[in-house]
Amino acid sequence: MKLFLLFSLFVSFVSAQTYEEYLHSQEEAFSSYKDERDKEFSSFLNKEWKVYKASQGLSAYEEEKPKKISIAKKQKVIQLKKRIDVVLQPLEKKKTKSYQKIIIRPDTRHLKMLYTSYFGVELVLHYDASVLFSTKGSVSKESIKKAWDHLAKSKYETVLKELNEISSTLKLNDWGRYQLVRHVASKLYLHSNEALLFSWFTLLKMDYDARIAFQNHRVILLLPVRSKLYSTVYYSFNNKKYYALDYYAKGTLGSVMSYDNVYKGARKSLDFRLTKQPLFASKPVVKQFHFEVDNHLISLSLKYDENLLHFFQTYPQVSYEDYFSSLDANILKHSIKASFRPLLEGKSESEALDLLLSFVQHAFKYKVDTEQFDKEKVMFASETIFYPYSDCEDRAILFSYLVKVLLDKDVVGLKYTDHMSTAVFIDEKVKGEYIRVKKRNYIVADPTYVNARLGMSQPKYFGIKPYLIDSTGGEK
């Protein structure tokens, strides 16, 4: 019995020593900054914060878009009405790489694991428990500095490395990387303020020029963007705009408190362009369309990728150039080629363009964004395929995409005060209205003007000089 008691005391002593050593090791882990920049930035955060006034984001149009679609007088044709059903034929193509699951082997053990799904990809991330913290509901410059110091002294390297590796593996653009960081942060922390502070810290470590601000009891994450961003509140720091991305199309925010310093090396602005297709898990969905060309009723199918569609749906309204120049799903591109090439075979440039115009004019129902979404929403091609309604800019972007994929022709967007159309550069001489762009003549093609052929502008816009969207070129 005495031996047992002695043994128990010995074990207790050793355990106590081990526990004390553990506490000491944890204190040591948090005793110094991992990066010299973090210490300097912490001292910046300790200085006086200032009040910054909100500026309202740009409006996309000077006037409201027409709520009713314009219809041109239908031209007479001799052909008898008949039905053409296009069967979706398989094309020879390289298999598109995609990921169903990503697990990265950690460099060290004793890590926690986070299981989550990101646009159809199952992710298993590893992180050290030291990155977790709580502001206990308090939001002030002191609590923000404390959160920064905690994260800067934590073992954040593993989760940062894995986020970068996942971003690279999935070929994410800046917006995809931003969404990944925000998504993981929301899974790691119970409260949005802590998640936003972790996102801010992580984005800075990824060299994005992120800023944090606060008002009342909420934290606000701010970032600059490469091009335009509409209907989003922003704040100016040294004449540079930083947008509150979480508050797209949600009205004004009012003044906030923030600091007037930058984190060394963090210079990147968010770039919304999609120059590489993200390798999300592939999830094809088929949708049937019907339209009429010269008294021929045509029925065809198109496929879009549901996971990429969901990614597109996260976008705020960015520069029109970003929509016109971005890629879409390979699944959609393949189905467009399979369905339309039989219809375009043997046709001249103008005849092919007329057919594509007719498809966009007749296969989709018109409704302005404010009636469908209660806000302005510009759609990528996949979104126009998916949603029940679309308006002028959505049709212009879809038509441009069809022309580039099928005809490899240069297209520009024509933006008026309340409307968007397109113009195409072709070699064939066709009667109609032309727009001069960079010493070349582009013929007008309006995908929203029902029954209009190539060269026909709506009477309201005929002869009016539009604002031009940058040339997007042919298919790359």
Structure tokens at 85: 């059903």
CB-based contact 275:68 (threshold 8 Å): no
Structure tokens at 438: 């960079």
Structure tokens at 121: 């990809």
Alpha-carbon gap, residue 65 to 373, rounded angstroms = 14
Count of residues in the chain: 476
DSSP secondary structure, 395-456, as one string? HHHHHHHHHHHHH---EEEEE-SS-EEEEE--SS--SS-EEEETTEEEEEE-TTSBT--TTP
- Cα dihedral across residues 232, 268, 51, 195: positive or negative: positive
Structure tokens at 64: 């409201």
pTM (two decimals): 0.88
Closest CA to 360 of 411, 402, 410, 309: 402
Between β-strands 256-258 and 240-243, what pairing exists: parallel, antiparallel or unpaired? unpaired
Show pLDDT as tens, one digit a residue, over the chain (476 residues): 444 444 343 334 333 444 344 334 444 455 588 888 999 999 999 998 999 999 988 888 878 888 888 888 876 544 434 555 655 455 445 556 778 888 888 877 789 999 999 999 999 999 999 999 999 888 999 999 999 999 999 999 999 999 999 999 999 999 999 999 999 999 999 999 999 999 999 999 999 999 999 998 899 999 999 989 999 999 999 999 999 999 999 988 999 999 988 999 999 999 999 999 999 999 999 999 999 887 889 999 999 999 999 999 999 999 999 999 999 999 999 999 999 999 999 999 999 999 999 999 999 999 999 999 999 999 999 999 999 999 999 999 999 999 999 999 999 999 999 999 999 999 999 999 999 998 899 999 999 999 999 999 999 999 999 987 766 654 43
Alpha-carbon gap, residue 426 to 410, rounded angstroms = 8
14 burial class (0-12, 13-18, 19+ CB within 10 angstroms)?
Answer: exposed
In 150-268, at which residue ranges do the beta strands (DSSP E only) sit?
211-215, 218-222, 234-237, 240-243, 256-258
In 45-197, at which residue ranges do the beta strands (DSSP E only) sit?
50-52, 82-85, 101-103, 112-118, 121-127
Q: Measure the CA dihedral 391/394/396/400, to 10°.
A: -160
Alpha-carbon gap, residue 472 to 381, rounded angstroms = 14
Structure tokens at 401: 């995409």
Q: Provide the pLDDT for residue 470.
A: 67
Q: Provide the pLDDT for residue 91.
A: 45
Q: Provide the pLDDT for residue 57.
A: 86
- Cα dihedral across residues 182, 187, 191, 195: positive or negative: negative
3-class state of residue 246 by DSSP: helix
Structure tokens at 174: 């800046």
Q: Provide the pLDDT for residue 348.
A: 96
Residue 40 half-sphere exposure toward CB, CA atoms < 13 A: 8
Alpha-carbon gap, residue 307 to 330, rounded angstroms = 12
Cβ within 8 Å of residue 148, ≥6 positions away: 38, 41, 42, 45, 197, 201
Between β-strands 389-390 and 365-366, what pairing exists: parallel, antiparallel or unpaired? parallel
3-class state of residue 363 by DSSP: coil
Structure tokens at 27: 């204190």
